[in-house]
Amino acid sequence: MSFEVREKDLLGRIGRLETKGGRVETPALLPVINPRIQLVKPKDFLDTFGCKALITNAYIIQKQHGSEAIEKGIHRLLDYDGVVMTDSGAYQILLYGDVQVDAEEIVRFQEQINPDIATILDIPTGWKVSREYANRTVEETLRRAQRLWKIKTRSDIIWVGPIQGGQHLDLIAKSARKMSKLPFNVHALGSPTPVMEQYFFDLLVDMIMAAKMNLPLDRPLHLFGAGHPFMLSLAVALGCDLFDSAAYALFARDSRYMTENGTARLNELEYFPCSCAVCAKNSPMDLLEKPEEERQKLLAEHNLFVSFAEVRLIKQAILEGRLWEHLEMKAHAHPALLQALKRLRKYEHYLEENSPVTKSKGLFFFDSVGLSRPEVVRHRKRLAERYSAPEKAETLFLLPQTSSKPFHNALEWRGILSKIRENLGERSTRVHVCFYSAPFGVVPLELDEVYPLSQHEVAVPLDKETTDYVASQVSSYVERTSYEKVVLLEDRTIWGRTVTSACKRVCKMKNIRFLNLPHQDISDSLVTERLLETPGL
């Protein structure tokens, strides 16, 4: 087994997971297969949908197929040539409280049926359980994980080490730390299904991050039971690589139609918003009039089409460095998702530390939600920790952002900057030109063309949170530097006045001179006149 990361954005990555049965490109959605109930045949997953990996339940296989599964092997039993992952029956424990098999027996059975990826029989924590019970599930799962290495006999099967703890985040972190010390190739976060069913996506963010921040980054993370397309981008952005879900079939049996942003009942639709093979040939009424078995099959196929399409969109977003933008657009499909996106502010420093520094495309900044994105956090940190103003600078000259970039080449400032150099000559080194802009705050002229300070587009007018952020960054910059004077060219909008007020307050606190030049009356001569008033010039 090997896992190679090809591309990254946020914590999401396009990777290659090598198994004895073939290569799986991540992020990957593994449809759940029940051998007894197959709306879509496993063979069709590979031929029709290009799905190279699926998951089935070893416990159900053992109870229903037993010796046949051992004789044929799981691939022949399912008639599937791709990668097969087996779950152990832990979900049945969550549903029914127990299973009629012990942990060692299900390990031996999985080795006998020969999957490519297998899972130990962990104890799922579940939802709304006491801390004491949750801790018992963590400890028992760990005990079984440790026992695995003494009882398994094969080295060609990838084993999954589940992480438990439920909504108790410290227990998830504990489980992840201890499980990461064992030689598992893949980890999985258990018990997220009740959280997702109730749309507690902000809690899901906390659960995933509690696991992710305590696991080795070179091991893929599987999110059990997560397969609806509208939340996949959130999970991928947080570092989940593998997903499984039976939703495509469960929804089809309930006449529910998946879209990239949610789910609709078939009888509520007049038009299909999709152009897959099913929707292109049928209307909602057509499907409603078909026999139940055929209708369920076609709905299941559509649900798979839309699910795999979303996975491909996510991969393309990672390639282009646009996963954040994709995530923002998805988050506005439901308030619970937007709330989850806002929760990322809690983890903004971890996201920044593990995200690429440069990308092949510029950024789109929509509103204050984007203040948590790694590029904004990185600029704030590096400006505070690594940047020093020019040694000879006595005056800070602050200019507002322009629609064209880089700012110093904008038509609005080209003449002014030229006049400063012309009128002040060598003394111009005592004037340090910076720009105040959203979303980055302060942009020193000498960094103006450094990615992504000139490689972004921002929506105006700015919202209040973004305005306040820019103002706070300007005042923080003035506070920690040693200029003798600040000259600010005020933008004529409300956000410019907010920046002016913040800058004026910090100058007063530091007892340094502050001059505010109104934008509408500005001229080259007025600027140089005000700059010449600086002590020493």
Integer Cα distance of 520 and 412 in angstroms: 12
Count of other CB atoms within 10 angstroms of residue 268: 10
- Reference 50, options 228, 305, 299; nearest CA is 305
What does the alpha-carbon distance between residue 390 and residue 2 come to, in Å, rounded to a whole number? 49
Helix (H) or strand (E) holding 388: none
Query: Do residues 107 and 152 touch, judged by C-beta distance below 8 A?
Result: yes
Q: Where are the alpha helices (DSSP H) in 116-212?
A: 131-151, 169-180, 193-197, 201-212
Neighbours of 160 (CB within 10 A): 25
198 vs 70, 195, 518, CA distance in Å? 39, 5, 53
Structure tokens that stand for 311 in this block: 């996975």
Helix (H, G, I), strand (E, B) or coil at 151: helix
- What is d(CA 82, CA 42) in angstroms, rounded to the nearest whole number? 9
**Residue 444: cis peptide before it, omega within 30 degrees of 0:** no
Q: Which amino acid is at 44?
A: D
By C-alpha distance, which of 165, 341, 87, 163 is closest to 237? 341
E strand or H helix that includes residue 399 = strand 395-400
Mapped onto helix, strand or coil, the DSSP state of residue 186 is strand
Does residue 87 have an active-site annotation?
yes
Catalytic residue among 9, 79, 87, 491: 87
Closest to 434 (Cα-Cα) out of 465, 477, 381: 477
* CA gap 151, 107 in Å, rounded: 8
Query: Is-contact 227 248, C-beta < 8 A?
Result: yes
Distance between CA atoms of residues 470 and 500, nearest Å: 11
| Length reported for the chain | 537
What is 248-267 written as a DSSP string?
Answer: HHHHHHTTEEEETTEEEEGG
Strands 262-265 and 256-259: antiparallel
How is residue 423 written in tokens?
């009128």
Cα distances from 418 to residues 390, 517, 520, in angstroms, run: 19, 18, 19
Question: Which residue, among 187, 240, 250, has the nearest Cα to 216 in the 3D structure?
Answer: 187
34 bridge partner residues: 37
Query: How many CA atoms, within 13 angstroms, populate the side-chain half-sphere of residue 180?
Result: 18
For the chain, what percentages of helix, strand and coil (3-state, to nearest 5) are there?
Answer: 50, 20, 30
Hey, how many other C-beta atoms are within 10 angstroms of the C-beta on 476?
17
The catalytic residues are: 87
